[in-house]
Amino acid sequence: MSDTTGFSADDRALRAAPISPDGLPAGAYDVIVVGAGVAGLALTLRLPPQLRVALLTKGALGESNTRYAQGGLSAAVGVDDSSELHLADTLVAGAGLCDVDAVRELVDGAPEAVRWLIELGAQFDAGPDGVPLLGREAAHSRRRVLHAGGDATGAEIERALVARVHEDPRVDVYAGAFALDLIVRGGRCAGVVAELTPGAPPVRLEAPATVLAAGGAGQLWATTSNPPGATADGVAMALRACVPVADLEFVQFHPTVLAMPNARPFLITEAIRGEGAWLRGAHGERFMVDLHPLAELAPRDVVARGIQQQMAADGARSVWLDLRHLDAAAMRERFPTIRAELARRGLDLATDLIPVAPAAHYFIGGVIANGDGHTALPGLLAVGEAACTGVHGANRLASNSLLEGLVFGIRAAEEIGHEVSPAASAVDPAVLSAAPAAPKVDAAPVAIAELRALLQQTMSRHVAVVRDAAGLRAAADELAAIDQALRETNAIGRAAWETRNMALAARAVVAAAAHREESRGAHFRDDFPEPDPALAGRHSLFVDDAWQFGTLENGRSKSVLARP
């Protein structure tokens, strides 16, 4: 269908690069990695030791979506499990849109990736016999989710990876850095323009291989489980560089995020439902038993819609998570992080009803990439949440996200090792400190903050768990006005750049959602409530300034990723 949302080739100003790389002070590396979650860190550590690496992260090293992953890491390591069962569960959750070969690579690589993490020092919960304790989450047919510290798995994985990166002399870590844009020369990605510390003048970092591992986008919505830095920077940079993207309409809303008035959202892992917790409506009824044979353990999109419908029926802002029928001591021991956070808010995990509601959680779409990380732009790779490899389909299976970043991050590192030779010489990064003074910043902080809040409200109102054509048209109009207002502020600086990234990504999400006139997985259209059989296996691609449906083969679209 034609684009009806205003995101098209005619809107060139929307994708203008914020700062030209010409004339900026430059540093040279063999590899530049943008993003330091599990994908970026695993890739960095698995690169050949002779390659010099620049690792850019917006916050402190260790602050990423990975850190907040409570549930765990899925891998078929149990005696009753197999990669074939893991494959089957992933395909069911993906609602007819997974690339089978890509999923097979993911699940087959899982056990070895887990062994590597353990060798690095990651400590997963185990019984007295040393056998890992495995949890079960939604849509898994077996207990196959490794966890650490009960409900602090992401933090433990991040800790182990960060510790090794700190020990690696070939890696220059730029904590607090912000990558503004990709540098494209002669049809290749040549590096990035970046602000290496907040408020510093931009510089140019060049390398034969640049990796986008900055994929979080939850801040496009008013309520999210993501940290503040998840502002869709990776996909926005790719869109400005005209790198093909896919499946941006598929945004997974976590069903159970703590919903208390005037309180910061806090994720309540679905591993709690895996241990037997129930969801109840305002009158105490278990509503999920009537909606799906797996009840509370149905796929995430089903549970999120079920909660949304129950909230509407009750006229309430939440439903209730109930653990009161479970062993109280066992639950407090199993979920110490959640227990402590709830206690700070005056709630007891085991004896109180916990108010929960859906919130933006995981960005399924992204830059079209192979399992080895290659994108359509030579010299640019994408891994983790920034990439669309076909493994998640229309709805990610719980705890496959850490696994994807780990397995495909490792594979991309091996690919870079085959393709990139150490530079004969490299510019000393110290020259970057000699950059001229930054231009005067007209930050317009109040205006930028207000426009960001308006954008988030627009997305939450029109482009959340349930969408329709009227709401998507309204969102497109509101976002176009917000984008115009952003340009008129003439603001520069991190807050402005981030908000422009958010506006670009939000408009692309709306366009993709309007393009797919069916309901599938995490994308539910009230005006097209059933899947369209003709769209099974058909991904929504933004290629050459146009939306189209196409296929991905092992993360590849033949027309998109044709390379020598």
Query: Per the structure block, which two tokens stand in for 279?
Result: 């969801």
Residue 121's CB is within 10 A of a number of other CB atoms, namely 12
Residue 115's CB is within 10 A of a number of other CB atoms, namely 12
Give catalytic status of residue 300 as yes or no. Answer: yes
Q: If you ran DSSP here, which 8-state letter would residue 261 be given?
A: T
| CA–CA gap between residue 235 and residue 248 (Å, rounded) | 9
Q: Is 288 left (phi over 0), alpha (psi -120 to 50) or beta?
A: alpha
Residues 6+ apart with CB under 8 A from 101: 553, 554
What is the per-residue DSSP string for 98-157? --HHHHHHHHHHHHHHHHHHHHHT----B-TTSPBPEE--TT-SS--EE-STTT-HHHHH
| CA–CA gap between residue 302 and residue 297 (Å, rounded) | 9
Residue 74 has φ and ψ, to the nearest 5°, of -85, 135
| CA–CA gap between residue 518 and residue 540 (Å, rounded) | 12
Q: Among the options 104, 300, 452, 507, which is catalytic? A: 300
Residues 6+ apart with CB under 8 A from 88: 141
- Coil vs helix vs strand at 90: helix
At position 514, the amino acid (one-letter code) is A
Residues 6+ apart with CB under 8 A from 151: 70, 71, 269, 271, 334, 335, 336, 337, 338
At position 472, the amino acid (one-letter code) is L
Q: Known catalytic residues?
A: 300
